[in-house]
Amino acid sequence: MSQSNLQRSMPSVTLLDLSDARFDNRFVRELPGDPETRNVPRQVRNAGYTRVSPTPVRSPRLLAWADAVGEILGIARPASPVSPAVEVLAGNRILSSMQPYAARYGGHQFGHWAGQLGDGRAITLGELISPNGKRYELQLKGAGKTPYSRTADGRAVLRSSVREFLCSEAMHSLGVPTTRALSLVATGEPVIRDMFYDGHPEAEPGAIVCRVSPSFLRFGNFEILAAQKEPELLRQLADFVIGEHFPELASSYRAPEVYAKWFEEVCRRTGILIAHWMRVGFVHGVMNTDNMSILGLTIDYGPYGWLEGFDLHWTPNTTDAQGRRYCYGNQPKIAQWNLTRLAGALTPLIEDDAALEHGLAVFGETFNNTWSGMLAAKLGLASLEHSDDDSLLSDLFETLQQVETDMTLFFRCLMNIPLNPISGDRAATSHAPESLESVDQMNDHGLVELFRPAFYDASQAFSHAHLTRLAGWLRRYITRLRQEGEPEDLRYHRMSRANPKYVLRNYLAQQAIEALERGDDSVIIRLMEVLKHPYDEQPEQEDLAARRPEWARNKPGCSALSCSS
């Protein structure tokens, strides 16, 4: 269901001021907490969380608000940038109904077990029950130290907070399963960060994002319990998650069968999630097991990036520049590796290896089927079952990597190859030739010219070798489309729903960050509005759909990023 349809389906309600809201705390009630109350870095045992309050900040001020998320929660936009609600969103005010905590978890980072990690700078305030009866956790990222902070300060800088706020909402509008973001608040305090770990730390403005999700539990919450040999708590956590977030399984199966079915469902959701990432060209950048949601949501927006020049080996994470473990093309393989680590953690509950292997097979099958269907839609095809489709795809991916070609723009240009004369609304928004005959009569140069907006180096793109190769592929593609025999409008509509025109390119986020640092919120407001409708043409916003400008190629924040906040 689209965002607009979701909002229309919700009953008309009076939105509350956040400072008047009542929170629930089911997670805290039903799972054992850390009996130690000292907020100092330490190892925690036999607990799912530690009770801890945010550290107040100097002068919180609201920078951005997501109205759609507020409406889902039944919460009104704060009356002013410095209202009591903003004090709550900054962690300066804890409501009487809140029982804030930091979750305990571990994880495999870059393929190696890292031991205890936990919420080092994120503090969950509690759970709101929305007007439609659903339960959502509200979590402040950058809210200060917790016992899981290790040597860090628990804070977040403005640049990482803007990126998380914007991308959470952009991904939702793209139809990608994701956590959400309610607010972005400046703290009025500097944060010291060495952005590229090169020995040059600098003071940067601090900020806090209020993240929203049915749950922030991740694979690592289960891994730490297995690693520390806490089987009863492992079972208790699994029972809580199944009862709260997979109730259909709890009512249909008996243990241990229910745990196997639950793992299978986690695998299925993860397969769908990764297919969506691949579809829109999103690269998470740090797919450690502690960054994998047990609900199959995109979680923890750190050094992510959007595939601009199509490159299966591209990673946005400078920490991953050598090994490229988390590059675009590796994401399905890494997801399965992570699920295998989760399977290992769940063996005390699921002793049948065949059941765990079946779950992992479900991931592979789900991803392959979902990705195949999405690729077909991106190409305007009903399916990829033709005998030559595998070679058509492999040749396309190989051709796209020969010359730096923008993935998003290439597929939008592909939409505008008409098989029949165009008219009406389609003609008004299409950049394609006006008749079928003009396409059939085009020479190779004319056909490839349709894709000029997607090329970062036109001289390479129109070299004889590349021009001949791409034009040859395009003629095969046109022949394949005609074999389908479907109406042109159906193909165009299918492609327009699978291929976004607007994505949160890193340089666009960087422009919003720099503007906010100057006190200008117009850039982030404009981006938020445009990214609500990523598949629509929006002719007045064409500059936001253009390929990355050359000045942004190597500029910090516009290309690769580090894990540092």
pLDDT tens-digit map of 43-92: 999 999 999 999 999 999 999 999 999 999 999 999 999 999 999 999 99
Q: Which parts of 36-154 are beta strand (E)? A: 49-51, 61-65, 101-103, 106-109, 112-116, 122-129, 135-141
Say if residue 239 carries a ligand binding annotation. no
Q: Which of 3-7, 135-139, 268-272, 415-419 has the lowest mean pLDDT?
A: 3-7
Under 8 Å between Cβ of 179 and 298 = yes
The answer for residues whose C-beta is within 8 angstroms of residue 435's C-beta and 6 or more apart is 418, 421
How far is the C-alpha of 426 from the C-alpha of 447, rounded, in Å? Answer: 19
Say if residue 154 carries a ligand binding annotation. yes
Using the predicted structure, report yes or no on whether residue 1 has a pLDDT greater than 50: no
Angle ∠(543,549,552) on CA atoms, nearest 5:
125
Under 8 Å between Cβ of 333 and 430 = no
pLDDT, position 560: 78
Instruction: Give residue limits of the domains in the chain.
Output: 3-216, 230-378, 389-565
DSSP H or E stretch at residue 183: strand 180-193
How far is the C-alpha of 488 from the C-alpha of 144, rounded, in Å? Answer: 55
Query: Which of the four pLDDT bands, split at 50, 70 and 90, describes residue 423?
Result: very low
pLDDT, position 428: 46
3-state secondary structure of 400: helix
Say if residue 121 carries a ligand binding annotation. yes
Residue % of the chain over a pLDDT of 70? 94
> Phi and psi (nearest 5°) for 191?
-125, 135
Say if residue 153 carries a ligand binding annotation. yes
Under 8 Å between Cβ of 282 and 171 = yes
- Please compute the mean of the pLDDT values over residues 285-293 and round it to a whole number: 98
Say if residue 120 carries a ligand binding annotation. yes
Angle ∠(300,304,307) on CA atoms, nearest 5:
145
Query: Which of the four pLDDT bands, split at 50, 70 and 90, describes residue 564?
Result: low
Averaged pLDDT of the chain: 93
Crossing angle for the helix pair 257-280 and 231-245, to the nearest 10 degrees:
60
Q: Two tokens at 136? A: 């959502």
Query: Which position has the token pair 């036999």?
Result: 46
Q: Two tokens at 504? A: 């949160």
Say if residue 141 carries a ligand binding annotation. yes
Q: Is the peptide bond before 256 cis (omega within 30 degrees of 0)?
A: yes
How far is the C-alpha of 464 from the C-alpha of 446, rounded, in Å? Answer: 13
CA 483 distance to own-chain centroid: 36
How far is the C-alpha of 342 from the C-alpha of 237, rounded, in Å? Answer: 14
Query: Which position has the token pair 């099958």?
Result: 365
Under 8 Å between Cβ of 104 and 98 = no
pLDDT, position 10: 47
Using the predicted structure, report yes or no on whether residue 100 has a pLDDT greater than 60: yes
Say if residue 291 carries a ligand binding annotation. yes
Nearest CA among 16, 12, 25, 132 for reference residue 72? 132
Using the predicted structure, report yes or no on whether residue 425 has a pLDDT greater than 60: no
Q: Two tokens at 24? A: 């629930």
3-state secondary structure of 114: strand
Say which DSSP state 206 is in: E
Query: Which of the four pLDDT bands, split at 50, 70 and 90, describes residue 8?
Result: very low
Alpha-carbon dihedral of residues 38, 40, 43, 44, nearest 10 degrees? 30
Under 8 Å between Cβ of 327 and 313 = yes
pLDDT, position 7: 42
pLDDT, position 435: 43
Q: Which long-range contacts (CB under 8 A, 24 or more apart) does 394-402 make?
A: 395/473, 395/476, 396/473, 396/477, 397/310, 397/312, 399/466, 399/469, 399/470, 399/473, 400/310, 401/310, 401/311, 401/312, 402/466, 402/469
- Reading phi first (left if > 0) and then psi (alpha if -120 to 50, else beta), residue 380 is in left
Under 8 Å between Cβ of 539 and 280 = no
Query: Which of the four pLDDT bands, split at 50, 70 and 90, describes residue 6?
Result: very low
The answer for residues whose C-beta is within 8 angstroms of residue 516's C-beta and 6 or more apart is 63, 158, 162, 186, 523, 524
pLDDT, position 254: 79
Q: Two tokens at 360? A: 């992992």
Using the predicted structure, report yes or no on whether residue 196 has a pLDDT greater than 90: no
Query: Which of the four pLDDT bands, split at 50, 70 and 90, describes residue 373?
Result: very high
DSSP H or E stretch at residue 474: helix 464-484
Say if residue 300 carries a ligand binding annotation. yes
Under 8 Å between Cβ of 215 and 294 = yes
How far is the C-alpha of 74 from the C-alpha of 276, rounded, in Å? Answer: 29
What radius of gyration, in Å, describes the C-alpha atoms of the chain?
24
Catalytic residue among 239, 290, 320, 406: 290
3-state secondary structure of 12: coil
pLDDT, position 94: 98
Say if residue 42 carries a ligand binding annotation. no
10 Å Cβ neighbour count for 434? 13
How far is the C-alpha of 299 from the C-alpha of 283, rounded, in Å? Answer: 12
Count of helices and strands (H, E) across the chain: 21, 11
pLDDT, position 251: 83
Using the predicted structure, report yes or no on whether residue 432 has a pLDDT greater than 90: no
Query: Which of the four pLDDT bands, split at 50, 70 and 90, describes residue 167?
Result: very high
Q: Are strands 61-65 and 106-109 parallel, antiparallel or unpaired?
A: unpaired
Angle ∠(472,473,475) on CA atoms, nearest 5:
65
* Sign, Cα dihedral of 185, 191, 195, 197: negative
Using the predicted structure, report yes or no on whether residue 11 has a pLDDT greater than 70: no
pLDDT tens-digit map of 235-288: 999 999 999 999 999 888 877 899 999 999 999 999 999 999 999 999 999 999
290 among known catalytic residues: yes
DSSP H or E stretch at residue 364: helix 353-378
